């Protein structure tokens, strides 16, 4: 029994010694292998055995977050990373000999392509970070994953603000190499967004990738749609309420003396909204002015017209009776009454207006009241038309 136990102990010691020796050899072999693979390489030379051969570079962009889109400055800030891969013909090894299939190393040890952003917002920017690593496989495939915050220029089209949809581009092209040296190949025809975090203002609704062969330029187009409910409740609806309140100025009694002040107050309120909206829009009219700016300008013009008509109607209303009503004003009052009565008045009221016309009982107060009536109807129709045109423009 003692001999058997002693034999087991001896066998166990031998196995442990073998395992330790194999681990040590494996580590030393890997260190030697790493030096052989990376030693003596010139990172400035393309990794091809024939200098006339081209290096095919596959690439795709993974979008992680849309930080900001500033329409006024035309700046789009993105967070994401590029996955770039190519074949290094000077690296491949037989993985069955040493059991090493792949490893990682710092990006400054072997050759890698240089890329720049084609439409940077501020200065030329290289796609490069010192802390990035490169993964190398036994078949020579090298994968370089580099991520960063990218700021690109995007000319916003705010013609349908705040119901607008923007198409912004992220352009990338090789730097320092010709078409005879490298070929850039997009892996996907869209922007990968599996890990995209939702943005509060913009919604990512689509993308595409195009290539310009003469420059090896890849363009990643991203379609963004604005979340408009905030602007509807804080801009569109208040503007609509302001313009509707304009109509009620003609219902105020002229004797109150508040009509002009009321009309001017509403005009100033609309002008304030016009200032607020202009601060959020770029100073451009290409391809055309924003619909909301046109709507606000129309509302300002309507409000200014209302102020003028309120002043005129008040002047006629308070004119002294010693000044006779002119023939033109009599005709205006009679024509207005006839037209309105034909549309909505009862037969008895029509007879009443006809009797008034025959007895010539029209006074300046009647002129002021009739101006208010005609203006209220006219302004209501104009407001409905203007708002209907705005709705059609942003909806179609």
* The pLDDT of residue 11: 55
User: Which residues is 192 bridged to in the sheet?
Assistant: 62
Summary mean pLDDT of the chain: 82
Domain end marker among 201, 227, 253: 227
CATH value at residue 261 = 1.20.58.390
Closest CA relative to residue 374, chosen from 350, 349, 338? 338
Question: In this structure, what are the phi and psi dihedrals at residue 30, rounded to the nearest 5 degrees?
Answer: -65, -40
- Within this chain, do residues 234 and 192 fall inside the same structural domain, yes or no? no
Q: 335: which residues sit within 8 A by CB, 6+ positions away?
A: none
Same domain membership, residue 388 and residue 274: yes
Q: Which residue has the higher pLDDT, 283 or 301?
A: 301
Q: Per-residue confidence at 8, pLDDT binned at 50, 70, 90?
A: low
Q: Are residues 74 and 146 in the same domain?
A: yes
The answer to whether residue 76 scores a pLDDT higher than 80 is yes
155 with 234, same domain: the answer is no
Asked if pLDDT for residue 198 goes beyond 70, the answer is yes
Which DSSP state fits 122? S
Are 92 and 106 part of one and the same domain?
yes
How far apart (Å, rounded) are the C-alpha atoms in residues 207 and 145?
21
Give the separation between CA 28 and CA 145, rounded to whole angstroms. 29
Can you give the pLDDT at residue 385? Answer: 92
Of 171, 195, 227, the domain-final residue: 227
Edge-first strand order for the sheet with 133-137 is 102-106, 133-137, 141-153, 75-87, 55-70, 182-186
Show the tokens assigned to 61: 């962009």
- Give the pLDDT score at 152: 94
**pLDDT tens digits, residue range 20-73?**
444 444 667 767 777 777 777 778 888 888 888 899 999 999 999 999 998 888
Residues 124-147: tens digit of each pLDDT: 888 876 667 888 888 889 999 988
Task: Map residue 284 onto helix, strand or coil.
Answer: coil
Of 219-223, 230-234, 351-355, least confident by mean pLDDT is 351-355
Note whether 252 and 317 are same-domain residues.
yes
Tens of pLDDT, residue by residue over 337-372, are 777 776 665 555 555 555 555 455 777 777 888 888
pLDDT at 16: 45
| 102 within a domain of the structure (yes/no) | yes
DSSP label at residue 43: T
Of 227, 253, 271, the residue at which a domain comes to its end is 227
Q: What is the pLDDT of residues 286-345, one digit of tens each?
A: 677 888 888 888 988 999 999 998 888 888 888 777 777 777 777 777 777 777 776 665
Q: Are 291 and 160 in contact (CB under 8 A)?
A: yes
pLDDT at residue 210, as a whole number: 95
In a domain, 8, yes or no: no
Q: How confident is the model at residue 176 (pLDDT cuts 50, 70, 90)?
A: confident
Same domain, 204 and 242: no
Checking if the pLDDT of 234 tops 90, the result is no
Report angle CA 189, 213, 46 to the nearest 5 degrees: 100
| Same domain flag for 381 and 247 | yes
Q: What domain range is 126 assigned to?
A: 55-227
Pair type for strands 165-174 and 115-117: antiparallel
Residue 1 in this model has a pLDDT that exceeds 50? no
**Model pTM score:** 0.76
Burial class (CB in 10 A: 0-12, 13-18, 19+), 270: buried
Query: Could you tell me which of 257, 263, 231 has the C-alpha nearest to residue 245?
Result: 263
Decide if pLDDT at 97 tops 70. yes
117: tokens are 């952003």
Instruction: Answer for the pair 156, 111: CB distance below 8 angstroms, yes or no.
Output: no
The tokens for 264 are: 């001017």
Identify the residue with better confidence: 119 or 335. Answer: 119
Task: Let me know whether 179 and 264 are in one domain.
Answer: no
Residue 109, domain member (yes or no):
yes
| Confidence (pLDDT) at 55 | 93
Question: Is 274 a domain residue?
Answer: yes
In a shared domain, residues 181 and 282: no
DSSP-H helix ranges across 248-290: 259-279
Q: Does the pLDDT at position 207 exceed 90?
A: yes
Using CA atoms in the order 227, 229, 230, 231, what is the torsion angle rounded to 10 degrees? 90
Counting the structural domains of the chain, the total is 2
Q: What are phi and psi of 291, to 5 degrees?
A: -60, -35
**Confidence check: pLDDT of 195 > 80:** yes
Residue 223 domain flag = yes
Residues facing 57 on adjacent strands? 184
Task: Tell me if residue 189 falls in helix, strand or coil.
Answer: coil
Q: Are 211 and 66 within one domain?
A: yes
**In this structure, is residue 358 part of a structural domain?**
no
Q: How far is CA 197 from CA 76, 80, 165, 221, 227, in A?
A: 16, 11, 19, 18, 15
Pair 303, 177 in one domain: no
Task: State which of 58-67, 118-127, 193-202, 226-235 shows the largest mean pLDDT.
Answer: 58-67
Q: Is 262 helix (H, G, I), strand (E, B) or coil?
A: helix
**CATH code at position 151:** 2.70.170.10
**Residue 92 is assigned to a structural domain of this protein:** yes
Residue 243: pLDDT band with limits 50, 70, 90: confident
In terms of DSSP H, where are the helices of 54-136?
A: 95-98
pLDDT at position 351 is 55
**Reading across the β-sheet that carries 165-174, which strands appear in turn?**
115-117, 165-174, 217-226, 202-212
In a domain? residue 10: no
Judging by DSSP bridges, how do beta strands 102-106 and 165-174 pair with one another? Answer: unpaired
């Amino acid at each position: 029994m003692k001999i058997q136990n002693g034999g087991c102990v001896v066998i166990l010691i031998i196995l442990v010694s073998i395992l330790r020796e194999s681990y040590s050899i494996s580590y030393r072999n890997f260190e030697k292998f790493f030096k052989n693979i990376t030693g003596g390489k010139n990172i400035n030379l393309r990794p091809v055995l024939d200098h006339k051969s081209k290096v095919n570079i596959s690439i795709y962009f993974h979008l992680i977050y849309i930080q900001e889109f500033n329409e006024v400055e035309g700046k789009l800030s993105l967070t994401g990373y590029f996955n770039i891969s190519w074949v290094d013909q000077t690296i491949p090894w037989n993985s069955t000999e040493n059991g090493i299939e792949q490893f990682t190393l710092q990006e400054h040890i072997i050759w890698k392509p240089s890329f720049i952003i084609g439409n940077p917002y501020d200065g030329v920017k290289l796609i490069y970070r010192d802390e990035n690593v490169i993964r190398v496989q036994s078949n020579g495939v090298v994968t370089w994953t580099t991520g960063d915050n990218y700021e690109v220029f995007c000319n916003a089209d705010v013609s349908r603000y705040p119901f607008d949809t923007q198409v912004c581009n992220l352009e990338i092209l090789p730097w320092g190499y010709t078409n005879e040296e490298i070929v850039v190949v997009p892996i996907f025809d869209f922007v990968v967004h599996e890990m995209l975090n939702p943005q509060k203002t913009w919604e990512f609704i689509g993308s595409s990738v195009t290539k310009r062969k003469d420059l090896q330029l890849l363009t990643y187009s991203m379609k963004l749609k604005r979340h408009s409910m905030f602007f509807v409740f804080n801009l569109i609806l208040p503007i609509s309420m302001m313009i509707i309140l304009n109509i009620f100025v003609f219902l105020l009694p002229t004797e109150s003396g508040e009509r002009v002040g009321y009309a001017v107050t509403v005009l100033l309120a609309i002008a304030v909204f016009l200032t607020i909206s202009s601060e959020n829009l770029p100073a451009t009219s290409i391809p055309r002015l924003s619909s909301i700016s046109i709507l606000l300008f129309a509302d300002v013009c309507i409000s200014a017209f209302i102020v003028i008509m309120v002043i005129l109607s008040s002047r006629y209303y308070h004119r002294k009776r010693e000044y006779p009503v002119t023939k033109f004003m009599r005709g205006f009052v009679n024509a207005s009454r006839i037209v309105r009565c034909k549309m909505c008045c009862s037969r008895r009221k029509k007879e009443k207006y006809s009797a008034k016309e025959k007895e010539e009982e029209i006074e300046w107060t009647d002129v002021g009241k009739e101006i208010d009536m005609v203006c209220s109807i006219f302004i209501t129709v104009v407001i409905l038309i203007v708002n209907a045109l705005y709705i059609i423009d942003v909806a179609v």
